[in-house]
Amino acid sequence: MQKGFIFEANLPPRMAFRQLNRRAQINNETGLGTNTALSGGRFFAKDGRANIEVRGLHFWQRLNLYHTLLSMKRWKFLVAIMLFFIGINLIFAGIYLLIGLEHLSGMVANTFGEKFGEAFFFSAQTFTTVGYGRINPVGFLASFVASFEALTGLMSFALVTGLLYGRFARPRSFIRYSHNALFSPFKNGVALMFRMAPYTKNYLVNVEVKVSIAMKVLEDGMIKNKFFNMPLDIAKASTMTANWTLVHPINEDSPLYQLSKADIEAAETELLVFVQGFDESFSNTVISKASYRFEEFVYGAKYVPMVHPNEAGTGTILELDKLDHYAPAELPFQY
């Protein structure tokens, strides 16, 4: 197969690119660095998160607590709330012990463990403003601490309520991507394909997909990251209610034109996917990102259909568990 670049004889194969397809359109708007010495691994994780670790500032300077609590996994968020609730009540229970339990009227405990438990649950009742009434503060200091704790509880519940609303109301895409991108037969040639599908009833309208490809190439004696536009056969859709297979034809305008599998692997190729659409449920624009590295490419395969009519022939069934399923397919030439 004819190569789309020329090898430099005294360089190892993975660093031997001098020239790629000159008709491919370079994309300088990705916002990603071109110097390979300044980046490592893939640019984006499989779930679309930027593969970057921030250093150089103290943890508390980098911490965005609001964003962290909004974006963390659901079980972590619930654990964080429970730990905060237990921790704040342990602190106030310790304060009541320091003040003296004789300032908490109505306690019936004898041992230290029982007294601490009474103080802890009195704190929980004060923090939540439940106030059963059996135990009550006596004296100025204990009453002041109880009042301050009640105020802290009210403010905490207001913050947690806002966070819960933010987590549920925050616009986000509900799109799943196939694990692999396929080199498949397409119109007497070959195309690079991947597919995506909505997995809730948050259907998008006015959907637009932009795909770029990152490749390491030799330029002016240096290995650099080069980004190219990947024109799609269909890049826009009025609505997306079922799976959508995105197709990049590998023709004379493609940066992959006349490149073999070894060439693509040597360039450490990464496919960058950006999806934007309007979600009618949120009444807002949502964005989704994904990434495919060269080791996630499959050569000579085609996707298995995901949709079929229901038994009565009155509707369509979308089988999300088949999103990653593909079958072998013969290509017009050997990669």
Tokens representing 233? 């056969």
**Do the domain assignments include residue 4?**
no
Mean pLDDT, residues 299-304: 94
Say if residue 164 is in the same domain as residue 183. Answer: no
Q: φ and ψ at 165, to 5 degrees?
A: -65, -40
pLDDT at 190: 94
Say if residue 144 is in the same domain as residue 213. Answer: no
Say if residue 307 is in the same domain as residue 207. Answer: yes
Domain that holds residue 278: 13-46+179-328
Number of domains in the chain: 2
For residue 106, give the CATH number of its domain: 1.10.287.70
For residue 246, give the CATH number of its domain: 2.60.40.1400
CA 70 to the chain's CA centroid: 13
pLDDT at 59 > cutoff 80: no
Last residue of a domain, one of 134, 149, 169: 169
Say if residue 300 is in the same domain as residue 259. Answer: yes
CA 80 to the chain's CA centroid: 20
pLDDT band at 8 (very low <50, low <70, confident <90, very high): very low
**Do the domain assignments include residue 222?**
yes
**Do the domain assignments include residue 247?**
yes
**Do the domain assignments include residue 205?**
yes
Helix, strand, or coil here: 222?
strand
Of 53-57, 205-209, 280-284, the range with the highest mean pLDDT is 205-209
Give burial (CB, 10 Å; 0-12/13-18/19+) of 128: middle
Closest CA to 177 of 163, 194, 192: 194
Say if residue 185 is in the same domain as residue 144. Answer: no
pLDDT digits (tens, 9 = 90+) for 144-170: 999 999 999 999 999 999 999 888 878
Say if residue 218 is in the same domain as residue 292. Answer: yes
**Do the domain assignments include residue 308?**
yes
Contact (CB, 8 A) for 309 and 317: yes
Say if residue 156 is in the same domain as residue 242. Answer: no
**Do the domain assignments include residue 128?**
yes
* ∠ CA 154-160-166, rounded to 5°: 140
pLDDT at 4 > cutoff 80: no
pLDDT band at 106 (very low <50, low <70, confident <90, very high): confident
Last residue of a domain, one of 140, 169, 198: 169
Say if residue 191 is in the same domain as residue 321. Answer: yes
**Do the domain assignments include residue 40?**
yes
In three-state form (DSSP H/G/I as H, E/B as E, the rest C), the secondary structure along 242-299 is: CCEEEEEECCCCCCCCCCCHHHHHHCCCEEEEEEEEEECCCCEEEEEEEEEEHHHEEE
Q: φ and ψ at 152, to 5 degrees?
A: -60, -40
Say if residue 224 is in the same domain as residue 162. Answer: no
More confident residue, 156 or 21: 156
pLDDT digits (tens, 9 = 90+) for 196-229: 999 988 889 999 999 999 888 877 777 778 889 9
Phi-psi sector, 56: left (phi>0), alpha (psi -120 to 50), beta: left
d(C-alpha 228, C-alpha 218), whole Å: 15
In 3-state terms the chain splits into helix, strand, coil percentages (rounded to 5) of: 30, 30, 40
**Do the domain assignments include residue 174?**
no
Q: φ and ψ at 236, to 5 degrees?
A: -130, 150
Say if residue 243 is in the same domain as residue 296. Answer: yes
- In sequence order, what are the beta bridge partners of 274? 210, 289
Contact (CB, 8 A) for 329 and 185: yes
Say if residue 191 is in the same domain as residue 151. Answer: no
Say if residue 151 is in the same domain as residue 236. Answer: no
